[in-house]
């Protein structure tokens, strides 16, 4: 039995106290209306109306049940409206994530941008590494994220990939600090500060492989996850770190990864030939691209990355509007 439809018939007859007018109000013929009311009475085990050839009146049971019936219809309408809003992305919840290396200005821009673009969708934002995001996206425990490439994108759809060329942070009195651009091979003899491999294994391996191809095998790789620890290694004058040019990025004291923020003890120099780069893109489970909340976050984070990394905007990879799929360990578009 379609309970909601039967209850609608009951309420209409109760309010009109006339089967003909109730049928006209519901846009249906009178016989099926009478049948629905009778079936509802059988299902409930009570008589709702007293009927004569001249009038229809509510029974005591019908009067008692009328308020409950109206409440039921109101709840059904609210449920339908909420479902429609969720479907259209005008309410609900989006579980999203940013990687820890994203600058504070970008995080703020994402939150502000989503508040304008999300149309009432609640944003549950997490700080997760690329590896953690890919795992949660695969298990549908995350709706959308900002991941770093290369990584395994099986089952994911991607937004535009933004490239940020990396330079090197050096002790201010390092010999290579006198260069306008620094060849990777000139960094031989230094230890290299990197994020822990488990945060983004493919990126970590790709970066060291590229270094080796350009003549750099670090004396040692130090994993700098804590901001103070990373800064201390830099100031030891035995280590260097790779970082994009982000003039507005926070200082190392507020980020787990080094940035190119001016510091009296360190200098930032571009790398000769721009062999290294961070590549980020929004990613979401395949088939979720039409979800308005997911779309709003993906567009917002892509826009925010481009705006806050102004010096890198001219290196952003031009992309078509449709989602793309990256091969896990390369930059070939397929």
Q: How confident is the model at residue 136 (pLDDT cuts 50, 70, 90)?
A: very high
Which pLDDT does position 301 carry in this prediction?
A: 92
pTM, rounded to two decimals: 0.62
pLDDT of 332: 35
Domains of the chain: 3-85 (1.10.10.10), 92-163+278-313 (3.40.190.10), 167-246+264-275 (3.40.190)
Per-residue pLDDT of 140-182, as tens digits, reads 899 999 999 989 898 999 999 888 889 998 888 888 888 999 9
Taking only the tens place, the pLDDT of each residue in 86-120 is: 666 556 789 999 988 788 888 898 999 999 887 77
What pLDDT score does 228 carry?
75
pLDDT tens track for 223-273: 876 667 777 888 887 889 998 875 443 333 333 344 555 467 788 899 999
Residue pLDDT, tens place only, 2-56: 899 999 999 999 999 999 999 999 999 999 999 999 999 999 999 999 998 889 9
Q: Is the pLDDT of residue 318 over 50?
A: no
HEC string of the chain?
CCHHHHHHHHHHHHHHCCHHHHHHHHCCCHHHHHHHHHHHHHHHCCCCEEECCCCEEECHHHHHHHHHHHHHHHHHHHHHHHHHHHHCCCCCEEEEEECCCCCHHHHHHHHHHHHHHCCCCEEEEEECCHHHHHHHHHCCCCCEEEEEECCCCCCEEECCCEEEEEEEEEECCCHHHHCCCECHHHHCCCEEEECCHHHCHHHHHHHHHHHHHCCCCCCCEEECCCHHHHHHHHHCCCEEEEEECCCCCCCHHHCCCCCCCCECCEEEEEECCCCCEEEEEEEEECCCCCCHHHHHHHHHHHHHHHHHCHHHHHHCCCCCCCCECECCCCCCEC
């Amino acid at each position: 039995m379609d309970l909601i439809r039967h209850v609608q018939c009951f309420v209409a007859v109760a309010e009109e106290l006339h089967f003909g007018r109730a049928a006209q109000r519901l846009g249906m013929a009178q016989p099926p209306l009478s049948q629905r009311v009778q079936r509802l009475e059988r299902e409930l085990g009570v008589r709702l109306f007293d009927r004569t050839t001249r009038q229809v009146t509510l029974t005591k049971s019908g009067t008692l049940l009328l308020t409950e019936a109206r409440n039921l219809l109101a709840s059904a309408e609210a449920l339908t409206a909420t479902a429609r809003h969720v479907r259209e992305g005008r309410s609900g919840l989006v579980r999203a994530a940013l990687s820890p290396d994203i600058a504070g200005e970008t995080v703020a821009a994402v939150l502000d941008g989503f508040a304008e673009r999300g149309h009432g969708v609640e944003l549950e934002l997490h700080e997760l590494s690329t590896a953690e995001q890919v795992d949660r996206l695969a298990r549908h425990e995350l709706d959308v994220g900002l991941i770093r490439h290369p990584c395994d994108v099986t089952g994911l759809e991607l937004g535009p990939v933004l490239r940020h060329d990396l330079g090197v942070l050096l002790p201010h009195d390092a010999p290579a600090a006198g260069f306008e651009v620094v060849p990777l091979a000139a960094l031989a003899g230094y230890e290299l500060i990197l994020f822990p491999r488990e945060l983004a294994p493919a990126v970590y391996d790709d970066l060291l492989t590229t270094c080796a191809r350009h003549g750099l095998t670090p004396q040692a790789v130090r994993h700098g996850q804590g901001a103070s620890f990373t800064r201390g290694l830099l100031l030891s004058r035995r280590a260097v770190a790779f970082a994009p040019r982000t003039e507005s990025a926070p200082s190392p004291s507020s980020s787990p990864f080094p940035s190119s923020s001016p510091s009296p003890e360190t200098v930032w120099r571009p790398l000769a030939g721009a062999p290294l780069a961070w590549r980020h893109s929004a990613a979401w489970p395949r088939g979720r691209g039409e979800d308005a909340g997911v779309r709003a976050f993906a567009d917002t984070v892509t826009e925010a990355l481009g705006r806050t990394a102004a010096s890198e905007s001219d290196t952003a990879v031009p992309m078509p509007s449709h989602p793309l799929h990256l091969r896990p360990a390369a930059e070939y578009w397929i």
